Structure 1
Amino acid sequence: MRNTKKSKVLIIHGWLHSSKRYAELGAKLSKYADVDIYEFEGFGDTKYKSAKLDILNNYVEKLNNYLINKKYDLVITHSMGGNILLKVLNEYKHNIKYVVLSNTAYNGLPILKPIAWIIPMTIVLFIVSKIIPKKIIKPIFSRISLLTVNELKYFDDIMFNDALKANSFVASITLFQLAFDKFTFKTSDINKDINFIITYSENDRIIPLKNTKKLICDLSNPVVIKFDKIGHTVALEAEKEYFKQISKLLESKV
């Protein structure tokens, strides 16, 4: 790093994840920075406190309020977390130098549209998963996880517990909203000084490559890093290389 003062880093998790998914990454990065991990209401141990049905926009409002009067040198996001942060930065000025957008849910998720239409069934699935024995539901969830990871070996206890802890209503509604989201980012005076870094994988089964290419175009020449042979969850499937890239960024630029 360029000075002895530690950088400030914020990590924002993705859909059906929690702060626990990124606790190990945060611990490793603490060598270089003071790290906070933001957890969306309805996931992990954070209860959903609003009656609003427009959950994504509620998340935008809450994240914007959280960022007010804070200064982060680097914000790291995954999937839904990147979607929410981009919406915040599209409308509000914040003191952020660098943003890493990993496997960002952007401009809709075509593969999820057929699933998202059956919201009642997804709600029932999440509710039932909390009732029946774990030894029965775990193999089912492990197969479903292959949408987000390329190999079953990456389906770990954190992923399973995050799925069980998620608010059934919140998880289902946000899935629907992400699938049909039409948001596109506009570069403006509000966000022109932010340096964006995009990480992606061509084997991501959730995010179409064309959506990532559109995001790259909309962000006007961000730094782009591709991870080979992994799926949607880079912080899990390419943990060492991901940490290496982030730590390199902290050491050289932030």
Structure 2
Amino acid sequence: MTIFIPHRVRMVNRLKLFHTEPMGQKEEKGSSIRICLIWINVKQVEMPYVRGQLKENKRTFVCSSVLDLRPSDLRYVKSGFTMLELLVVLAIVIVITTISIPTIDAMTSPKHVLRKEGRNIMQLMTEARMAAINRKVKVDLRIDSETREIRMVEARRFQTVETENSFFQAPEISTGIFEKVVAFGEDYEIESFTADQIQTDEKTEESGFQTENPYPETVESSDPPAVSFTHFGGSNGGGITLIYDDIRLSISADILTGRPKVVHLISESKRSRIP
């Protein structure tokens, strides 16, 4: 038995011609089915098939390929999605949702926001320390609670002298040159603290993002600086507390090395009991 699958083409002279077998031939038992792809020239053949059967008039068609298949090899394939494919897609969506929702919540949590802004403070402390060492000056970090700004100011400049017993002269003048600033939004609050308010058994955190460079100007303030860095790299041990959504993040500079670190402050009740 021969099954003809008609296709329309424009050029038939380039294809090899085959003479088709007459329709209606009985299939012998156990024989295979010949499947021919028939390319019909539209200009020469008018309605070559009606309801899946060829007309009585015999024509010469083009058979591009002949496949010998058994009837059991032919399967009806239905287009669409199977239940297994839908279950796989549903499982992938559930896994992605389970992973993404906690990540989004963590990125918008107050602790994550404080950690990100705290890296700006630690970076400013690091730059103030390096400026004090490289230029042999005293650099202060002053805070303005009203404008929520932390300013890096060159407080005093040292001058070398040619003596045998001294390398640096006492601070010459108070320069007050404004160098850099970190500003926070209205949702934040900033406070300063001293070294005696710090607990000594807390973990540290690495510094992070850089801040913008402001235009040079001078700053005059009678308030004590939150942190002061000396020309040998040390500091006064003070620090800055950043408050957001009733959560506090306190960052101080080490007294000996001047490196910034995250600390926990002693509460007011515990501090009052300290002799």
Larger Rg: 1 or 2? 2
TM-score between the two structures when normalised by the length of structure 1: 0.22
Give 1 or 2: higher strand fraction. 2
Higher relative contact order (CA 8 A, sep 6+): 1
Give 1 or 2: higher helix fraction. 1
TM-score between the two structures when normalised by the length of structure 2: 0.21
